[in-house]
Amino acid sequence: MKKREVTLIGDRRRLEKEEPRVEFGISLLETALKETGYGCLWAEAPEHPWEYRLIPGEKLYVGIRKEEELMNWLEEEEVLCFHSREPEGEGFYLQRIPGKMTVVCGGSASGALYGCLKLAELMREEKELPAELNFYDAPAFKLRGPCVGLQKTKLEPPRHTYEYPITPDRFPWFYDKKMWQEFLDSMLRERCNVLYIWSGHPFASLVKVPDYPEALEVTPEEYEKNRELFGWLTRECDRRGIWVVLKFYNIHISLPFALAHGLDLNQSNIHPLVADYTYKSIVEFVKTYPHIGLMVCLGEALRGTQNKTDWFARTIIPAVKQGAKEAGLKEEPPVILRGHDCDPVAAMEAASAEYTHLYTMWKYNGESLTTYLPRGNWQQLHKSLSALGGGHIMNVHILANLEPFRFMAPGFIQKCVQAGSERLGANGLHLYPLFYWDWPYSPDKSEKRLTQLHRDWLWYEAWFRYAWNPWRPEEEEKEYWKRRLACQYGMPEENAGSLLKALEAMGLCAPKILGRVGITEGNRQTMSLGMTMSQLTNVIKYRPNRELWHSVAAVGEQPDDYWRKEKEGLPHVGETPFDLVEDLEYLVECMDKNAAAAARCSVRDPKGLQGILDDCRAVKAMTLFYCWKIKAAMNILAYKYGMDERCLGELGYLEEAQEQWEQAMEWYRKLTALTKETYLYANSMQTPQRKIPFPNGETYGHWTQCLPEYEKEFRNFKANVEKLKNGWIPVGEEEETEGSRLPEAEFTLEGKGLETYTLKKGEYLFTDSDSRIQNIAPEIQGLTGIRFGMGEAIVTGITIKLTLAQDSKILIGYFDDKGVEWLQVPELETNTHADDRGGLAVLYANALKAQGCKAVHIHAFSYEKGTHEIYLGTGAFIVAGVIPEDAPVVPRNAGLEGEGMDTLDWMYE
């Protein structure tokens, strides 16, 4: 039989040089042609366009609309005619035209590349070039891509969070070109056009700054490796239509630069030397790598809203412009402003006067995945950013509530992308891996570490499938994913259909749990490890992020809200904790039944399927642990809201809670036994930033480490219930504890408008306010505080320069008031460095009361011997004194402004 041949029309050498994306697309077509039995020839475009018909046999022509003579002629003569939209940008049109020629018409080089990709897929399906072909497609989302982090699971003191020089010993995978090619090819198959790379301060690993040679924090050999690899990576990405975007935090500097100039690694204020260094680093970066973009996070170290806006508009944007000028670029490099920890609207308005190629980004569901019905303040922020014009990107961020399990619910993902478009106004997608801090590896316990790219294939495929087109019919999509699962694991479609149902049910469990009873959507909670009873019944103690409940969860009531409404006789609105438990029990039943049905067959990939089934069992155990513990919490709260001033109430509630809690413990013991065999750890961020359920993500990073704490909590509860049944009266036996005054540490104060004073009744808190101290806890009575102007603190913030004679703790007082005029305790959700010096937890609650002000909570932050410039941001606060680092302290509530009804925490602690 005579071999079939196809002639490819074009100048390959010119394409390789001038249009690498088009040439790469044609190379994909050549591979598909050979696989389907065609031989490939090349011929240059004819001198006269109409002479294409003289080239014998089948022909294939790939070109960019309005840029090539042959393509223009075909369209002008209506030989090439579009039945739908005209292809623009990344859009494309495929048509079989008279003269045996198949045309791939791209709206751009990327459009032509995607057209080649689609035609190659059609050829593999039909085993030949389609005889009839009129096909149009284009992406719904302008930007679509995954992020990878140059990050580690643990800190490297003295460096802080995010600070890891790029070196082969830290990131061996970064230098693995084979891995990168596999990843980039999968991105192309999924039509991604952005690769986001996150780092704290990458410049000191990738460029040399002539004026600051001391800033380089890698060896000369490592620097050359980095330059070669990063240059190769950007070229490989460009061939595939992928734009590399490098993300950095502000203001971070390299450790050698900090040591050379006596500076802190993280700058909370704008220092002229640091501004000059950062400016010149960005200029060198843009010159060295002219075809990539930058993503800017104006926090988490830099404090003060105006500071951040100024830093963006006066340092970063001018540096990018200057770098582009020196590189001779005709177009501005794209810059993405991450709307995290700043006023993004103000920053964009300030920058847009000088720069146009700008995008915005904001977290989709915070740092978790909880809903496809985003609402509230965060929805409005998305809308305000998308209204600025240009592009707005939804950032599917961290996924703290999904760790460490697989998430394979394509129906849920499709609705999320639809919501991003319709409810938030997004036209870009930024996707985190499911186990970000340990990329590229998954947390599964296996003989050889699994990679996330392989384990979580559906996670990537689903998000990017719907970023291209979120409006595919739902019923057709169920059939698509059923076939896809059958193909992936080599199983019958009927069983794959059962597996899909199990995965969709499993995918709803963690989002629903966190949205109703979680403390935060942020990084500080590892939801799969559970929650303590105090976290369920005394949520205020743990400083909840209320935007979790009001912006990224269904309308409803947290457990404490439910019983408050019951006591006040108010109607319940939305999902209650009882509704949640009922829904979760149904989902577990559905998941269990369908997972069992899916397992009743032989498969090609038994290990892959077994990993999914193990996750189904683990998620079942986790979910039922939550169900029973929530039931117990609701009974404890019923007791709490009905008890008298002696903390005595209806003991039947506590007895029922004890039985339910026992069921919860049984399921947690099962969860621990399961995960002991299947997972290395639960959380990818194993640092002190993880606080819930227990502090420190390394100490409490696995269920085996948490189980003893839960057992102790339950034992304490049972013992206290028994004491109550035997007539014990808690309040009657409570004795109020009062501490003596803390010792002082010597310090020297510098700074305009600052003065020292003795903390005692009658003293003014601020130099420009009439607020006098009315009451004060004995621990801080008589300490030497620092006083300054309240007005200046509110408008610009206060810089305090202290020289400490020894390692010390500085006592900072925060007012129990959420008004904009008051400095707020830093949040790990917006500032990962919030707990670098300790002090995030309250030392003395309600420790000071002044006229016209709410109570003050005292926090203690550790500082080393020496001189420090301290800038905490805008808002009024107090400095209550300086004590030795090793001074004995006993945290307590001084009770100078009552908390209201007793918390009942004593029952578990």
Q: Are 784 and 818 in contact (CB under 8 A)?
A: no
Please determine, for residue 285, whether its predicted confidence score (pLDDT) is greater than 60: yes
| In a domain? residue 772 | yes
Residue 226: C-alpha distances to residues 159, 292, 320, 687 (Å): 20, 15, 21, 27
Confidence of residue 739 (pLDDT cuts 50, 70, 90): low
Bridge partner list, 36: none
How do residues 301-341 score in pLDDT, each as one tens digit? 898 889 999 999 999 999 999 999 999 988 888 999 999 88
pLDDT for the residue 31: 96
| In a domain? residue 485 | no
| In a domain? residue 736 | no
The H or E element that residue 524 is part of is none
pLDDT for the residue 736: 40
Q: Are 871 and 826 in contact (CB under 8 A)?
A: no
Indicate if 326 and 389 belong to the same structural domain. Answer: yes
Indicate if 242 and 383 belong to the same structural domain. Answer: yes
Indicate if 84 and 65 belong to the same structural domain. Answer: yes
Residue 229 is encoded by which pair of tokens?
């690899």
Closest among 502, 535, 487 to 411, alpha carbons compared? 502
Indicate if 50 and 11 belong to the same structural domain. Answer: yes
Please determine, for residue 833, whether its predicted confidence score (pLDDT) is greater than 60: yes
Q: Are 750 and 801 in contact (CB under 8 A)?
A: yes
Confidence of residue 733 (pLDDT cuts 50, 70, 90): very low
Indicate if 816 and 859 belong to the same structural domain. Answer: yes
Chain centroid, CA 880 distance in Å: 36
Indicate if 251 and 356 belong to the same structural domain. Answer: yes
Bridge partner list, 841: none
Please determine, for residue 669, whether its predicted confidence score (pLDDT) is greater than 90: yes
Indicate if 528 and 662 belong to the same structural domain. Answer: yes
Q: Looking at residues 765-792, what average pLDDT do you find?
A: 92
Confidence of residue 735 (pLDDT cuts 50, 70, 90): very low
Please determine, for residue 904, whether its predicted confidence score (pLDDT) is greater than 60: yes
Kindly report the length of the chain: 909
Please determine, for residue 357, whether its predicted confidence score (pLDDT) is greater than 80: yes
CATH code of 9's domain: 3.30.379.10
Q: Which of 80, 114, 137 is the last residue of a domain?
A: 137
How do residues 48-103 score in pLDDT, each as one tens digit? 999 999 999 999 999 999 999 999 999 999 999 999 999 999 999 999 999 999 99
Indicate if 261 and 344 belong to the same structural domain. Answer: yes
pLDDT for the residue 851: 76
| In a domain? residue 563 | yes
Separation CA 827–CA 522 (nearest Å):
10
How do residues 629-648 score in pLDDT, each as one tens digit? 999 999 999 999 999 988 99
pLDDT for the residue 693: 97
Q: Looking at residues 665-674, what average pLDDT do you find?
A: 98
Q: Read off the DSSP letter of residue 743.
A: P
Confidence of residue 894 (pLDDT cuts 50, 70, 90): confident
Dihedrals phi, psi of 385, to nearest 5 degrees: -75, -45
Q: Looking at residues 463-469, what average pLDDT do you find?
A: 98
| In a domain? residue 70 | yes
| In a domain? residue 532 | yes
Select the more confidently predicted residue: 841 or 469. 469
Separation CA 452–CA 376 (nearest Å):
33
Separation CA 626–CA 705 (nearest Å):
18
Q: Is the dihedral of CA 119, 125, 130, 135 positive or negative?
A: negative
Please determine, for residue 185, whether its predicted confidence score (pLDDT) is greater than 60: yes
Bridge partner list, 566: none
Q: Give me the percent of the chain exceeding a pLDDT of 70.
A: 98
Residue 569: C-alpha distances to residues 325, 572, 637 (Å): 67, 9, 16
pLDDT for the residue 688: 83
Please determine, for residue 734, whether its predicted confidence score (pLDDT) is greater than 60: no
Q: What is the dihedral of CA 831, 835, 840, 841, to 10 degrees?
A: 140
How do residues 392-431 score in pLDDT, each as one tens digit? 999 999 999 999 999 999 999 999 999 999 999 999 999 9
Please determine, for residue 774, whether its predicted confidence score (pLDDT) is greater than 90: no
Indicate if 560 and 680 belong to the same structural domain. Answer: yes
Task: Give counts: helices (H), strands (E), the chain.
Answer: 27, 25
Please determine, for residue 760, whether its predicted confidence score (pLDDT) is greater than 80: yes
Going by their DSSP bridges, the two strands 293-300 and 335-338 should be labelled as parallel
Dihedrals phi, psi of 60, to nearest 5 degrees: -135, 125
Q: Looking at residues 580-601, what average pLDDT do you find?
A: 98
Q: Looking at residues 335-360, what average pLDDT do you find?
A: 93
pLDDT for the residue 732: 55
Indicate if 443 and 531 belong to the same structural domain. Answer: no
Residue 351 is encoded by which pair of tokens?
């920058």
Indicate if 546 and 409 belong to the same structural domain. Answer: no
Going by their DSSP bridges, the two strands 101-106 and 92-97 should be labelled as antiparallel
Residue 844 is encoded by which pair of tokens?
């003395």
The H or E element that residue 234 is part of is helix 220-239
Q: What is the residue whose two structure tokens read 């600025």?
A: 388
pLDDT for the residue 738: 45
Dihedrals phi, psi of 512, to nearest 5 degrees: -70, -40
Select the more confidently predicted residue: 820 or 684. 684
Please determine, for residue 542, whether its predicted confidence score (pLDDT) is greater than 90: no
Indicate if 56 and 150 belong to the same structural domain. Answer: no
pLDDT for the residue 698: 86
How do residues 95-137 score in pLDDT, each as one tens digit? 999 999 999 999 999 999 999 999 999 999 999 999 999 999 9
CATH code of 408's domain: 3.20.20.80
Q: Which of 91, 110, 137 is the last residue of a domain?
A: 137
| In a domain? residue 329 | yes
Q: What is the residue whose two structure tokens read 């979680």?
A: 518
Q: Which of 137, 153, 168 is the last residue of a domain?
A: 137
| In a domain? residue 39 | yes
Please determine, for residue 690, whether its predicted confidence score (pLDDT) is greater than 80: yes
Select the more confidently predicted residue: 831 or 358. 358
Q: Looking at residues 215-227, what average pLDDT do you find?
A: 97
- Domain range enclosing 65: 4-137
Lowest mean pLDDT, pick from 401-415, 459-473, 794-808: 794-808
Q: Give me the percent of the chain exceeding a pLDDT of 90.
A: 85
How do residues 361-401 score in pLDDT, each as one tens digit? 999 999 999 999 999 999 999 999 999 988 999 999 999 99
**Domains identified in the chain, total number:** 4
Q: Looking at residues 773-791, what average pLDDT do you find?
A: 94
